């Protein structure tokens, strides 16, 4: 069954009335039918609202079915999904290897907070593959990946990394937000834990924040659940409903976003201010062949560099846009643009872009209108100040 069909059918119907979506149940206290069952409750019965009710169960099932996972934890944000994945598998005295292109707040967690737990971090090249073996030692407990990197769009050799990590008993974790688990199946490639921000394409409407972590094995699923419960993670039923609803149309929205993004990227190639375009689905991307071998499609998030721009030119370009919003996140119905240089942090390898780096997230607007809007931005740069 194709994913587009699977996403419309998961868990249907949800009750004996034939509802195609679960009802939103809000509750904290769950009354036990007897004193014995207060502690010795049957498997499958919720005993406290924090562990989730029908709609959270439905969302977990949808995510697990989409990626053939053995377990799923829900979190209140994508950042929390990544930190939960790490905390589930590390302990004092260990070390995490992390791709140098990972999401900035995850990088901050590894550098500034994980060390308080007695765990060190070492950053490695974003394009590392089998060479990861040279960085693994007896202290290495986890490898943190992001492919593509959400700013600079490198594609990692996930099968090679997973094979080496499994042989060395090291857990692999990926931030899989770019593909939303739809166009890339990291668990099927051997990656152990796949985290993502459901805030993005799964939610799809810029009105909810949530994350999830999916586990490849039963053993990892148990570790994930134990850490989730110990740290008190919770996803509200209302937010879970919104994300589940968004998943029903996710494949259509991602396809539209990807198609429009390629049209805009191709147009950008003709603009004199634009240098390299960092779009993995384009043949001129350095990792395009690897992208084709691992991904079934793209999305609308990509970047380009402007060789002669400073931060000031980037700001003038963005401020001239009217349809593109200036803001974080992506994957919603609206198009967004940001300048990336103030948040780029690299220690293992330099970011190989020239001048300024601009990231675009392409939404549901007509691509012709978006191109006209970008023309306004370039016109502002060409006009003397």
Any idea where the domains of the chain sit in the sequence? 3-248, 250-382
Q: Which CATH number fits domain 3-248: 3.90.1150.10, 3.30.830.10, 3.40.640.10, 3.90.420.10?
A: 3.40.640.10
Contacts 24+ apart (CB under 8 A), 6-13: 6/65, 6/66, 7/62, 7/66, 7/247, 7/248, 7/250, 7/251, 8/248, 10/58, 10/61, 10/62, 10/65, 10/66, 10/247, 11/58, 11/61, 11/62
Residues taking part in catalysis? 50, 103, 175, 200
The pLDDT value recorded for residue 384 is: 76
The pLDDT value recorded for residue 4 is: 74
The pLDDT value recorded for residue 134 is: 96
Element (DSSP H or E) covering residue 305: strand 301-306
Element (DSSP H or E) covering residue 214: strand 211-215
pTM for the predicted model, two decimal places: 0.93
Q: CATH assignment of 250-382? A: 3.90.1150.10
Query: What is the chain's pLDDT, residue by residue, as a tens digit (385 residues)?
Result: 687 777 777 666 677 777 778 888 888 888 888 888 888 877 767 777 687 778 999 999 999 999 999 999 999 999 999 999 999 999 999 999 999 999 999 999 999 999 899 999 999 999 999 999 999 999 999 999 999 998 999 999 999 999 999 999 999 999 999 999 999 999 999 999 999 999 999 999 999 999 999 999 999 999 999 999 999 999 999 999 999 999 999 999 999 999 999 999 999 999 999 999 999 999 999 999 999 999 999 999 999 999 989 889 999 999 999 999 999 999 999 999 999 987 777 777 776 677 899 999 999 999 999 999 999 999 999 887 6
The pLDDT value recorded for residue 72 is: 97
């Amino acid at each position: 069954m194709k994913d587009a069909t699977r996403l419309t059918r998961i868990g249907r119907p949800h009750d004996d009335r034939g509802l195609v979506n679960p009802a939103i149940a809000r509750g904290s206290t769950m009354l036990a039918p007897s004193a014995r069952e207060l502690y010795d409750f049957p498997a499958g019965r919720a005993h406290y609202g924090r562990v989730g009710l029908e709609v959270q169960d439905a969302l977990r099932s949808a995510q697990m079915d989409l990626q053939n996972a053995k377990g799923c934890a829900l979190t209140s944000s994508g950042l929390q999904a990544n930190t939960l994945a790490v905390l589930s598998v590390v302990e004092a005295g260990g070390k995490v290897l992390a791709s140098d292109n990972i999401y900035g707040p995850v990088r901050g967690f590894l550098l500034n907070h994980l060390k308080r737990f007695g765990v060190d971090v070492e950053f490695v090249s974003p394009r590392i593959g089998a060479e990861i073996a040279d960085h693994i030692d007896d202290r290495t407990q986890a490898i943190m990946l992001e492919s593509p990197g959400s700013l600079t769009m490198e594609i990692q050799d996930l099968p090679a990394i997973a094979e080496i990590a499994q042989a060395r008993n090291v857990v692999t974790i990926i931030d899989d937000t770019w593909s939303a688990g739809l166009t890339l199946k990291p668990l099927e490639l051997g990656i152990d834990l796949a985290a993502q921000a459901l805030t993005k394409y799964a939610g799809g409407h810029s009105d909810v924040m949530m994350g999830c972590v999916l586990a490849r094995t039963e053993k990892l699923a148990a570790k994930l659940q134990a850490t989730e419960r110990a740290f008190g993670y919770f996803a509200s039923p209302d937010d879970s409903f919104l994300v589940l609803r968004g998943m029903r149309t996710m494949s259509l929205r991602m396809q539209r976003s990807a198609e429009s993004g390629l049209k805009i990227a191709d147009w950008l190639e003709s603009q004199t201010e634009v240098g390299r375009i960092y779009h993995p689905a384009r043949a001129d991307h350095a990792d395009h062949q690897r992208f084709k071998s691992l991904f079934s499609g793209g999305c609308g998030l990509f970047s380009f560099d402007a060789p002669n721009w400073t931060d000031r030119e980037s700001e003038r370009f963005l401020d001239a846009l009217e349809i593109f919003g200036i803001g974080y996140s992506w994957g919603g119905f609206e198009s967004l643009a940001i300048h990336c240089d103030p948040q780029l942090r690299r220690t293992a390898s330099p970011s190989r872009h020239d001048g300024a780096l601009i990231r675009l997230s392409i939404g549901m607007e007509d691509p012709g209108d978006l191109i006209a809007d970008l023309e306004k931005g370039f016109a502002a740069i060409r006009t003397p100040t």
